[in-house]
Amino acid sequence: ADSLKKIQDKQRQLAQQRAEATGKLKDLSATRTELGRQKQQVQGKLAEARQLLNTLTAQEKQQLAQAEQTRATRGTERVDLGNITPGSGHAGAAFAAAQSKIGSPYQYAHNGPSTFDCSGLTSWAYAQANITIPRQSEAQANAGQRIYSQSQLQIGDLVFFYGDLHHVGLYAGKGMVLHAPHTGAVVRYESMSNMPYQFGVRI
């Protein structure tokens, strides 16, 4: 009787686990369907944007690029951080290297020396300080000591933005970041309040 009771209890446990697993599979399937729908929407918008861009003349494309470049440059010029004193050691050297690239164009998957994406700039800057860090921002997030409070950040610390950590820059002091923002922009200073800050990393 005891053995039979144990078997019945085990069967109930297995049935419960099976029901829970079935529910999780349904949730996963629904999530996958929703992600697929969102991907189709994004691809549709990209196709529309490409189609619209293809209707522009060469002169109009050049004017659009110049307007974006001018806007990005003006954003950099408006930032006044006073006399910035770089952090000490490797972070200070990395920040000084990044400062020398202010105005350099953003280029996806490039890590210098003349064009950069966000993690390309940070990895290049630390390489100038003889420190090797991973190339991708997600991996750079695990390259040192995490700092969650902005008040504890020091100039030259890596700072990460967005929940998936796809953007990174160098802390510039006074709530600012020195970074390579996006296509059409240049390496520049920007307020960290413009993006969802996650944490900093001290190398």
Q: What gap in Å lies between CA 58 and CA 182, rounded to an integer? A: 22
Strand segments (E) across the chain = 145-147, 158-161, 167-173, 176-179, 188-191, 197-202
- In the annotation, is 118 catalytic? yes
Structure tokens of 134? 């991973």
Catalytic residue selected from 90, 110, 166, 179: 179
Q: Is there a contact between 92 and 86 (Cβ–Cβ < 8 Å)?
A: yes
Q: How many CB atoms lie within 10 A of CB 154?
A: 17
Please give the distance of CA 108 from its chain centroid, rounded to a whole number: 12
Cis before 181? omega within 30: no
Q: What gap in Å lies between CA 187 and CA 76, rounded to an integer? A: 8
Q: What gap in Å lies between CA 81 and CA 83, rounded to an integer? A: 6
Q: What gap in Å lies between CA 51 and CA 46, rounded to an integer? A: 8
Q: Is there a contact between 138 and 68 (Cβ–Cβ < 8 Å)?
A: no
- In the annotation, is 182 catalytic? no
- In the annotation, is 90 catalytic? no
Cα first-last separation, the chain: 64
Catalytic residue list: 118, 167, 179
